[in-house]
Amino acid sequence: MRTVTRKSAREIAEMRRAGRIVAEVLALVEEALRPGVSARELDALAEAHIRRRGGRPSFKGYRLDRDQPPFPGSICVSIDDEVVHGLPDARVIREGMLVSIDAGAEVNGYHADAARTFFVGEPPAAVAAFIETTRLALMAGILAAVPGARIGDISGAVEDVARAGGYGIVRECVGHGIGTRMHEPPDVPNYRTRARGLELVPGICLAIEPMLTMGGADVYLRDDGWTIATRDGSLAAHFEHTIVVTDGEAGILTTV
Ligand code: MG
């Protein structure tokens, strides 16, 4: 059982550097996300930027367990009913698609991880509200990450926003600790559990990442071994930041 580590100021500075690169990648991809571009082209853009800035794509070659094929790209491109881990393949982006981009970068051995959901074109009002609520669920989770609070307080804050919107909360995937590895303890669920969870202290770094659906919360793993999609085909959204617990409000590491 690995334990939760508190990062030093030097380590947090490295993660901040990685986080800035990740934020730049998401901005670049947002700019390039137009009808006609392929997921693979977005991936190439992301990888080139990460390497140009002296980082390494955290996702490339990553596997969650030994049975899984290594992840083939540098970003996840999850479209419409795909929740997370969509492959950056030859699929072409079209008007009306809901596209979630997840990116990770490693700098000097430290990782940062962030995600955002975009709509290609003008979203229907209900979809716009769904995207915004998922973003607000992330922000509520970040605001709950103060010293003395517990992981369960983050989970509860995310859950309350999601439930108020009437959205499904994916339970199979959760946020996580992050640092010298992309996935470290503790888990950060997007829903309350029996346990209140670990007490937060300054230096703990977390990736908080609500994954919500417009329909049911059930998901399944596609045959590609990576893509997680909603069972009922409903749309899914995903927002994520890497944060550090401080003496006051959490610091967001994945910003420019
Ligand atoms: Mg993550």
CA distance 136 to 56: 29
Dist. CA 112 → ligand 1 center (Å): 9
Residue 1, pLDDT score: 47
Q: Is the pLDDT of residue 77 over 60?
A: yes
CA distances from 39 to 35, 62, 165, 221 (A): 11, 18, 30, 19
CA distances from 90 to 44, 77, 129, 222 (A): 12, 11, 29, 17
Dist. CA 23 → ligand 1 center (Å): 14
Dist. CA 97 → ligand 1 center (Å): 22
pTM of the complete model beyond 0.85: yes
Dist. CA 38 → ligand 1 center (Å): 23
Cα 188 to chain centroid, rounded: 12
Q: Which two tokens stand for residue 72?
A: 């083939």
Dist. CA 52 → ligand 1 center (Å): 23
Dist. CA 30 → ligand 1 center (Å): 19
Residue 3, pLDDT score: 81
Q: Is the pLDDT of residue 80 over 70?
A: yes
Dist. CA 206 → ligand 1 center (Å): 9
Once rounded to an integer, what is the mean pLDDT over residues 78-105? 98
Q: What percent of the chain has pLDDT over 90?
A: 96
Dist. CA 194 → ligand 1 center (Å): 23
In this prediction, residue 12 has a pLDDT band, given cuts at 50, 70 and 90, of very high
Dist. CA 240 → ligand 1 center (Å): 7
Dist. CA 185 → ligand 1 center (Å): 12
Dist. CA 241 → ligand 1 center (Å): 8
Residue 74, pLDDT score: 98
Dist. CA 104 → ligand 1 center (Å): 8
The candidate with the shortest Cα–Cα distance to 62, out of 117, 104, 14, is 104
Dist. CA 36 → ligand 1 center (Å): 28
Task: Look up tokens 């209900």; give the residue.
Answer: 126
- What phi, psi does 16 have (nearest 5°)? -65, -40
CA distance 141 to 21: 23
Sign of CA dihedral 188, 137, 142, 209: positive
- pLDDT tens string 199-222: 999 999 999 999 999 999 999 999
Q: Which two tokens stand for residue 118?
A: 């975009």
Q: Residue 146 in contact with residue 249, Cβ under 8 Å?
A: yes
Dist. CA 124 → ligand 1 center (Å): 28
- pLDDT tens string 15-61: 999 999 999 999 999 999 999 999 999 999 999 999 999 999 999 99
**H or E element, residue 99:** strand 98-107
Q: What is the DSSP string of 8-33?
A: PHHHHHHHHHHHHHHHHHHHHHHHH-
In this prediction, residue 65 has a pLDDT band, given cuts at 50, 70 and 90, of confident
CA distance 176 to 186: 6
CA distance 103 to 71: 12
Q: Residue 16 in contact with residue 178, Cβ under 8 Å?
A: no
In this prediction, residue 2 has a pLDDT band, given cuts at 50, 70 and 90, of low
Residue 206, pLDDT score: 98
Q: Which two tokens stand for residue 82?
A: 């795909």
Dist. CA 113 → ligand 1 center (Å): 5
Dist. CA 31 → ligand 1 center (Å): 22
Dist. CA 182 → ligand 1 center (Å): 7
In the chain, what are the domains?
9-252 (3.90.230.10)
Helix (H, G, I), strand (E, B) or coil at 177: strand
The candidate with the shortest Cα–Cα distance to 73, out of 104, 111, 29, is 104
Q: Which two tokens stand for residue 33?
A: 């996300």
